[in-house]
Chain A
Amino acid sequence: MTDQLKEAAEKVVQRAVRMGATSADVLIREDDTFSVSVRMGEVETLKQAISRNVLLRVFVGKRTATSTTSDLSPGVVNRLVDDTVEMARITSEDESGGLPDASLFGNDFPDLELLDTTWENLSPPDRIDMAIRAERAALKAHPGIVNSEGATFDYSRSCTVVGNSSGFFGEYEGTGGGIAAAPVVQSQGGMQRDLWMSVSRRVDGLESPEEIGRKAAERALRRLDARKISTCEVPVVFDPMTARSLVGHIFQAVAGESIYRRMSFLIDEVGKRVAAPGVTIVDDARLRGGLGSSPFDDEGIPTQTTPVIEDGVLRNYLHTAYSARKLGTRPTGNGTRAATGTVTIGPTNFYLKNGAHTPEEIIASVKSGLYLVELIGFGVNGVTGDYSKGAVGIWIENGKLSYPVHEITIAGNLRQMFENIEMVGNDLAFLGSVAAPTIKIKKMVISGD
């Protein structure tokens, strides 16, 4: 299969050059996906497809244009290549434009263990059964669980080919799958829902369906009969699920694009303290079996492990070839193709490293405060770091989780929040390629009654 994609990639690049492009690069991805959702023990939806995408970028001198299509038939692709070269002629000269420097490309890549062929041993009924088992485990965990938004099993196998007119052509394959369950609990006080999931590149990297269902049920049950609390300023403990969203905001702030656009609260801060000691964040594309791992990025640049924050001190921004040229530095292998075909900056495995404390120790250290289990909304200003989000949590009293709270917000400023991280947990969990362990922030304003 990869041969066919590689051939298509070579043809696209050749045609672009023949039509007058100075240089061009292309990414072709094929995804073979299977997803099933079950609800109350029955299959609800079953979806299966093979999809392909061609993402092309051409340069005419220092001018650029991009294009995408899902249709690989030669007529459509050729016409699109021609149109793209034409479009590039009417965009502006951009000094920093162009393919990555040819010296950056390599051809010796480690095996990052991205592919697990044992997924293929699971027949559709086996896959459906895993979702059914997860939901069943959630439903029978407690009599209060009366309903369900269902459970899902998802799997995809993808093949990626990147090629360019400098002669680089590389390919890799990967698999990934996951199981999730979302039970609903009910009491006089209303309904609550929560979910738990497990995702991995390997079948044996998944938690068992029963464990996923049980954890989902536990998470939903502890939210039952949530109340509002009065406005206050207290310590806030983020569980790994909510902490990973904070780490995601740091990614946005260190992305080279945000820096040259001056849309970050971490501009001109390399070498300075931006977080509490003990806070270390890395972008590691070479993590074996990592959800965000790849041998080279979408521009064909070999990936690497980049320290971002070391013991509280900002070390590096992350770059594409373009943002690196703009800021006079080297690319970090974080080029990602957006749906429009343009190259932007994406995280690989971007995570906050484990600290020394168990989550229990962290909770026990709080006399009166909030243990956060869900954040909702988009109240983050990336330019200033101002932060205000809707929250659901469990109130901590004398070091113990006591009762659930909701219809509240937490607010602060990301810069101060990271400087105020007092404890880092040892329970790093990869629920996606951006990840974090439990963390405790000294104090935040909680807005309630």
Chain B
Amino acid sequence: METTRTNTIFFEKYSVTTRDLETYLSEALSRGGDYTDLYFEYRISHSIILEEQIIKSATKSVNMGVGVRVLSGEKTGYAYSDDLNRENILKAARTAAFIAHSSSEGGTTGLSAPISLENDLYSIPLQPVDLEIAGKIALLHEADFAARSYDSRIQQVQCSYLDETKHVMIASSDGRCVWDVQPLVRLNVMCVAEAGSQRQSGYQGGGGRRSVDIFTGDLDPKTLARESARQALLQLNAVGAPAGPMEVVLGPGWPGILLHEAIGHGLEADFNRKGTSAFTGLVGQKVASELCTVVDDGTIPFRRGSLNVDDEGNPTHETVLIENGILRGYLQDKLSAGLMKAPITGNGRRQGYEHIPMPRMTNTFMKAGESAPEDIIKSVKRGLYAVQFGGGQVDITSGKFVFSASEAYLIEDGHITAPVKGATLVGDGPTVLRQVTMVGNDLQLDMGVGICGKEGQSVPVGVGLPTIKIQEMTVGGTEK
């Protein structure tokens, strides 16, 4: 039984001492180097899958390790150990040190005792990984029953429950030692609807950094299941999506993936430091209509993309990316901030101890505007209203991005009409937001299912958006 921790598990349970950490840090800087840090991670996770109305499998994973990083100018040396064995960590420290050629006088200052930050964004009395499995299984059966009861055409239902608790501790050569305990839960419901020879699927999921008590209200298993079933059934009647440029209205919430792809990645500092982003050198310039203010905020309680501290031990922030249409700044990690002489923004993240941290998003969203969502729809003569999306991707250098609608409708003369099949929307990051002509007063954050991939590393993220109207965007359907 876990109550509020007063110290990190690495000190309390695994007997790591400040002295050990100092030894490892010194070893890492033994060949010079400007900076070193140690990333300790202990992660327990579960997944349970329901399919064909039975619990098909349950999984538990336990991973523990230590990543050692040495920075020397623009160079990064990295190695890790799969356990807390002293010799293995020292070996990793020496391997990471290989990069430095006594370019500068390294050396460590004394290390502080481990601290956790005061602003706890996900303080919970009991970690989800410590709960009885029976309660988790009940959530899946509840969702399965609700989806099957929704309509007799729902023929297949797959539900999954995932949880994890991640203990991290970051100790660095500038004397800081910070720890955190990060919970994460998620529930997914996928449905297949069949009518005659027609088959379609629907998906809905939700979660956040909390325990299973998060699954109420909008995230109630029954609500998620009905929404998944509704989407599958809707697609049975969908017509081919139109092809070509047109007015596009994005619904609130998850369509904020537009910001993540079109803007967010291009503003990660590593690409801008290297001059390979389409946004390079655009700070202070107008990149969006003045209706647009976009932020990345890692400090929203219980959100999937939130963190007390990033994976370099720095507190997260609200970082303004675009303010009334003007590009304000980048998302920084330690390395890029140092080289660009810019403030650290708490966006240094990594998938786990096997990985090098880099600038990543947390929760990225546009602030609400003043238009009523119904007025936005009414203003469109012929266009697309897209409310649910699958994934998206961006070419950071050219700025071109795509994202794929999974639920969308035609708008004809100010009215929402036929549902259309999935279509990819394509655009140009530095210019698409200039086309935003209306911003709704209905900002919503997503349900808590975002996963962002970059250079082979996945991290949980959030997005958000009010209803917005984009004057022109290319829709990639089949109907000319």
- Would you call B274 and A147 a contact (CB within 8 A)? yes
- Would you call B354 and A80 a contact (CB within 8 A)? no
Answer whether residue B74 sits at the interface, using C-beta atoms and an 8 A cutoff.
yes
Q: Which of A133-141, A168-176, A345-353, A381-389 contacts B (4 or more CB under 8 A)?
A: A381-389
Nearest CB of chain A from residue B434's CB, rounded to whole Å: 15
Q: Which B residues contact A (CB, under 8 angstroms)?
A: 47-49, 51, 54-65, 74-80, 82-83, 92, 95, 98-99, 133-134, 137, 155-156, 158, 192, 194, 199-201, 241, 243-245, 274-276, 278, 354, 356, 390-395, 397-404, 421-424, 426-428, 474-480
Q: Which of A88-96, A277-285, A290-298 contacts B (4 or more CB under 8 A)?
A: A88-96
List, in ascending order, chain B residues with CB within 8 A of A341's CB.
Answer: 59, 61
A389's contact among B51, B158, B424, B474, by CB below 8 Å, is which?
B424
Q: Which of A46-54, A105-113, A239-247 contacts B (4 or more CB under 8 A)?
A: A46-54
23 CB contacts below 8 A, A to B, read A46-B76, A50-B82, A52-B82, A64-B57, A67-B60, A67-B62, A68-B62, A72-B82, A72-B83, A94-B56, A228-B474, A231-B244, A376-B401, A377-B391, A379-B422, A381-B422, A388-B476, A390-B476, A407-B426, A409-B402, A411-B424, A448-B244, A449-B245
Cα-based distance from A133 to B88 in the complex (angstroms): 33
- Would you call B199 and A73 a contact (CB within 8 A)? no
A48's contact among B95, B421, B424, by CB below 8 Å, is which?
B95
List, in ascending order, chain B residues with CB within 8 A of A72's CB.
Answer: 82-83
B397's contact among A48, A87, A193, A378, by CB below 8 Å, is which?
A193
- Would you call A44 and B75 a contact (CB within 8 A)? yes
Nearest CB of chain B from residue A149's CB, rounded to whole Å: 5
- Would you call A410 and B56 a contact (CB within 8 A)? no
List, in ascending order, chain A residues with CB within 8 A of B63's CB.
Answer: 68-71
Nearest CB of chain B from residue A51's CB, rounded to whole Å: 6
List, in ascending order, chain B residues with CB within 8 A of A377's CB.
Answer: 391-393, 402-404, 424
Known: A43-B75, A383-B201. Is A191-B156 also a contact (CB below 8 A)?
A: no
- Would you call B398 and A379 a contact (CB within 8 A)? no
- Would you call A49 and B92 a contact (CB within 8 A)? yes
- Would you call B79 and A263 a contact (CB within 8 A)? no
Known: A76-B62, A406-B398. Is A231-B356 also a contact (CB below 8 A)?
A: no
Answer whether residue A184 sits at the interface, using C-beta atoms and an 8 A cutoff.
yes
Nearest CB of chain A from residue B351's CB, rounded to whole Å: 11
B474's contact among A45, A91, A376, A449, by CB below 8 Å, is which?
A449
Answer whether residue A143 sits at the interface, using C-beta atoms and an 8 A cutoff.
no
Chain A, 214-237, CB within 8 A of any chain B CB? 223, 226, 228, 231-233
Identity of the chain A residue whose Cβ is nearest the Cβ of B480 in the assembled complex: A231
Cα-based distance from A205 to B335 in the complex (angstroms): 36
List, in ascending order, chain B residues with CB within 8 A of A43's CB.
Answer: 75, 99
A390's contact among B60, B80, B393, by CB below 8 Å, is which?
B393
Identity of the chain A residue whose Cβ is nearest the Cβ of B397 in the assembled complex: A193
Size range of the chain A interface in the assembly: 35 or more
List, in ascending order, chain A residues with CB within 8 A of B276's CB.
Answer: 147, 149, 184, 191, 193
B78's contact among A47, A64, A382, by CB below 8 Å, is which?
A47
Cα-based distance from A389 to B476 in the complex (angstroms): 7
Nearest CB of chain B from residue A189's CB, rounded to whole Å: 10
- Would you call A191 and B480 a contact (CB within 8 A)? no
The binding surface of chain B is classed by DSSP as: strand
List, in ascending order, chain B residues with CB within 8 A of A390's CB.
Answer: 393, 400-402, 424, 426, 476
- Would you call A42 and B74 a contact (CB within 8 A)? yes
Identity of the chain B residue whose Cβ is nearest the Cβ of A39 in the assembled complex: B274
Chain A, 363-383, CB within 8 A of any chain B CB? 374, 376-379, 381-383
Cα-based distance from A446 to B480 in the complex (angstroms): 9
Which 6 interchain pairs have the tightest Cβ spacing? A409-B476, A390-B402, A92-B54, A377-B402, A378-B391, A193-B397
Answer whether residue A262 sits at the interface, using C-beta atoms and an 8 A cutoff.
yes
A71's contact among B62, B74, B98, by CB below 8 Å, is which?
B62
Nearest CB of chain B from residue A57's CB, rounded to whole Å: 9
List, in ascending order, chain B residues with CB within 8 A of A84's CB.
Answer: 60
Nearest CB of chain B from residue A438's CB, rounded to whole Å: 22
Cα-based distance from A412 to B395 in the complex (angstroms): 23
- Would you call A388 and B92 a contact (CB within 8 A)? no
Identity of the chain B residue whose Cβ is nearest the Cβ of A40 in the assembled complex: B274
- Would you call B98 and A46 a contact (CB within 8 A)? yes
Cα-based distance from A377 to B392 in the complex (angstroms): 5
List, in ascending order, chain A residues with CB within 8 A of B83's CB.
Answer: 70-73
Known: A71-B64, A447-B474, A449-B474. Is A411-B423 also a contact (CB below 8 A)?
A: yes
The binding surface of chain A is classed by DSSP as: strand
Nearest CB of chain A from residue B372's CB, rounded to whole Å: 31
Known: A340-B61, A411-B476, A448-B244. Is A45-B421 also a contact (CB below 8 A)?
A: no
Chain A 420-449 interface 0/1 with B at a Cβ cutoff of 8 Å (1 = within): 000000000000000000000000011111
Cα-based distance from A71 to B60 in the complex (angstroms): 13
Nearest CB of chain B from residue A260's CB, rounded to whole Å: 8
Nearest CB of chain B from residue A139's CB, rounded to whole Å: 14
- Would you call A379 and B400 a contact (CB within 8 A)? no
List, in ascending order, chain A residues with CB within 8 A of B64's CB.
Answer: 70-71, 76
Known: A69-B62, A71-B63, A91-B58. Is A447-B402 also a contact (CB below 8 A)?
A: no
Known: A66-B59, A233-B480, A381-B201. Is A149-B78 also a contact (CB below 8 A)?
A: no
Known: A47-B79, A71-B63, A384-B199. Is A379-B476 also a contact (CB below 8 A)?
A: yes
- Would you call A191 and B155 a contact (CB within 8 A)? no
List, in ascending order, chain A residues with CB within 8 A of B134's CB.
Answer: 90
Answer whether residue A211 sits at the interface, using C-beta atoms and an 8 A cutoff.
no
Identity of the chain B residue whose Cβ is nearest the Cβ of A51 in the assembled complex: B82
List, in ascending order, chain A residues with CB within 8 A of B392's CB.
Answer: 377-378
Cα-based distance from A73 to B65 in the complex (angstroms): 12
Known: A381-B422, A390-B402, A445-B243. Is A407-B427 also a contact (CB below 8 A)?
A: yes
List, in ascending order, chain B residues with CB within 8 A of A124's CB.
Answer: 98
List, in ascending order, chain A residues with CB within 8 A of B476's CB.
Answer: 379, 388-390, 408-411, 447
Answer whether residue A192 sits at the interface, using C-beta atoms and an 8 A cutoff.
yes
Nearest CB of chain A from residue B156's CB, rounded to whole Å: 6
Answer whether residue A342 sits at the interface, using C-beta atoms and an 8 A cutoff.
yes
- Would you call B478 and A340 a contact (CB within 8 A)? no
Q: Which among B92, B354, B400, B427 has the highest number of chain A CB atoms within 10 Å?
A: B400
Identity of the chain A residue whose Cβ is nearest the Cβ of B475 in the assembled complex: A447
Nearest CB of chain B from residue A60's CB, rounded to whole Å: 11
- Would you call B60 and A47 a contact (CB within 8 A)? no
Nearest CB of chain A from residue B385's CB, rounded to whole Å: 17
Cα-based distance from A46 to B356 in the complex (angstroms): 10
Cα-based distance from A52 to B85 in the complex (angstroms): 14
Cα-based distance from A181 to B61 in the complex (angstroms): 35
